Amino acid sequence: MVVYQILGGRRLCGTVTVQGSKNAVLPMIAAAVLTKEEVVLEGCPKISDVEDMAEIVRSLGGTVWWERNALHMNCEKIEKSRVEGALSKRLRASLLFLGSLLARTGEAYFAGAGGCRIGKRPTDLHQRAMELLGAEVFEEDGTIRAKADHPKGAVLCFPKKSVGATENAVLFAVGAEGATRLEHCAREPEVVHLCRFLKAMGAEITGEGTEQITVYGRQGKRLLSGCRYRVPGDRIAAGTYLLMGAATRGHLTLSGAPLDEMGAVLSLYQKIGGQYTRKSGTLVADSKNVQHAVPYVETEKYPGFPTDLQSLYLAAAMTLEGKSCICENVFEDRLRTAEELQKMGGTLQICGKWLTAEKSRLHGAEVVSQDLRGGAALVSAALAAEGFSTIRQTELVERGYERHPETLRDIGAKIPVE
Ligand code: EPZ
């Protein structure tokens, strides 16, 4: 277990180089199965979720290796189409091999997904998409068996927006006969980046970033070409450091931040008193005047305020004047970090999917990370608190944040090396 010891009460000041996007690169790793040629992901973040996806590629017969900050993959020899539980249950994104294996081999055995405990996280939308594209799908206790001899293009309207289900449907549709029109798609940037990556591999896709995506299948040629692709900056990691700066009234320069994807969090940052300037991919954020809570914040699908930053705003809200009501609309069990924040003196109330936060005298405490983004929120609150905190299970945080303690030390945090 990884434990952070943090001495709080210090402003975060300095420059953060924003890592490559976890949620953009994980689907790209699953997509590498769609070609027998080499794929290179430049600027790939060195985080455990990437290593876990790489392990799955190797378990299928592919080869994966690093060359400095680029992840190289060659899936010429995909001998298996089974993703076993020991690997699949480490993260949610393993589910995306369902679509790419069906497109590559015509079958897939998937032993169930893992990932943050932030809700039930069913897979019904993924299964429905596979079935509508011609696969026979059997699911039992999370294990999915699927077969598709001749996947055919179809029209599929998602009953609700799902990032992963949209991505899985696109990955499978690439290997189908004829055109597939996906309606009510998720518009998250990570869906757009996956489509651009697939187009760089020779796929024909239109409409990414809108609610309607059309994939023109490979007319029997199931395989794409290899490519070299630069992983975009991580909008959630950038938003995390922005809100940590707000919680500590710091002054941060975020280089490589995908500013065009951060509209909702930048608007919230200004409302609480943050001031920023932007120069191409660099954001300079001055939090000295951060003071007022925003009375009402709702998490929504993109381009709304992202659920992944809900707990990071919560940590900052406890340092602000006034009351903040936060409504978590995406995941039904994503408020559990509040109980840990109460141990640090957080004045918080939970009522269903609502959470109210008031200005609190935050003090050091011993707390336990409950999930990736909730753990980052505990780090943020500990940085803002007076005194010493111990945060356990921070391996959950290191699933998604590259060189996290080192990055924080570089901008002034007191996190003694273990
Ligand atoms: C992706 O998860 C991200 N993960 C999440 O980030 C992010 O919070 C989420 O999208 C935002 O929607 C990755 O990209 C690896 P969904 P995903 O399918 O695809 C329900 C992080 O911290 N649903 O868009 O799993 C689901 O329960 C992670 O980086 C179904 O009902 O999310 C949820 O309520 C956490 N049936 C809603 O849809 C399904 O078949 C949105 O989930 C699938 C989803």
pLDDT at 219: 57
Residue 153, sorted as left (phi over 0), alpha (psi -120 to 50) or beta, turns out to be beta
Cα separation, 252 vs 276, in Å, equals 9
Smallest Cα–Cα separation from 370: which of 94, 6, 45, 115?
A: 115
Q: What is the pLDDT of residues 225-238, one digit of tens each?
A: 999 999 999 999 99
Cα separation, 130 vs 151, in Å, equals 9
CA of 164 to the centre of ligand 1 (A): 6
CA of 162 to the centre of ligand 1 (A): 6
pLDDT at 201: 97
Cα separation, 97 vs 29, in Å, equals 9
Cα separation, 236 vs 261, in Å, equals 9
Mean pLDDT value across residues 308-334: 97
Mean pLDDT value across residues 307-322: 98
pLDDT at 220: 56
DSSP string, 303-362: TSB-GGGHHHHHHHHTTSBSEEEEE--S-TT--THHHHHHTTT-EEEEETTEEEEE----
Ligand 1, atom 17, residue with closest C-alpha: 164
**In this model, does residue 69 exceed pLDDT 60?**
yes
pLDDT at 66: 98
pLDDT at 279: 84
Q: Which atom of ligand 1 is nearest to the CA of 332?
A: 34
**In this model, does residue 222 exceed pLDDT 70?**
no
Ligand 1, atom 42, residue with closest C-alpha: 162
Spatial strand order in the sheet of 275-279? 13-17, 251-255, 282-286, 275-279
Residues having CB within 6 Å of any atom of ligand 1: 22-23, 26, 92-93, 116, 119-126, 160, 162-165, 186, 190, 307-308, 330-331, 372-373, 400
Q: What is the pLDDT of residues 96-133, one digit of tens each?
A: 999 999 999 999 999 999 989 999 999 999 999 999 99
Catalytic residues: 116
The helix/strand/coil state of 73 is strand
CA of 331 to the centre of ligand 1 (A): 8
pLDDT at 265: 98
Mean pLDDT value across residues 243-259: 98
Other Cβ atoms less than 10 A from the Cβ of 329: the count is 15
**In this model, does residue 218 exceed pLDDT 80?**
no
Biggest distance spanned by C-alpha atoms of the chain: 63
Q: What is the pLDDT of residues 156-175, one digit of tens each?
A: 999 999 999 999 999 999 99
CA angle in degrees (0–180, nearest 5) for 309-314-320 = 125
| pTM of the predicted protein model | 0.97
pLDDT at 221: 63
CA of 8 to the centre of ligand 1 (A): 32
Average pLDDT, the chain: 96
**In this model, does residue 137 exceed pLDDT 70?**
yes
- Answer whether 138's CB lies under 8 Å from 164's CB: no
Joined together, the tokens standing for residue 285 give 């954020």
Q: What is the pLDDT of residues 328-382, one digit of tens each?
A: 999 999 999 999 999 999 999 999 999 999 999 999 999 999 999 999 999 999 9
Mean pLDDT value across residues 203-224: 89
Q: What is the pLDDT of residues 255-270, one digit of tens each?
A: 999 999 999 999 999 9
Q: Best of 121, 132, 166, 236 to mutate for ligand 1, by most ligand atoms within 8 A of CB?
A: 121
Ligand 1, atom 19, residue with closest C-alpha: 164
Cα separation, 410 vs 21, in Å, equals 20
pLDDT at 1: 87
CA angle in degrees (0–180, nearest 5) for 181-183-297 = 150
pLDDT at 417: 78
Ligand 1, atom 4, residue with closest C-alpha: 23
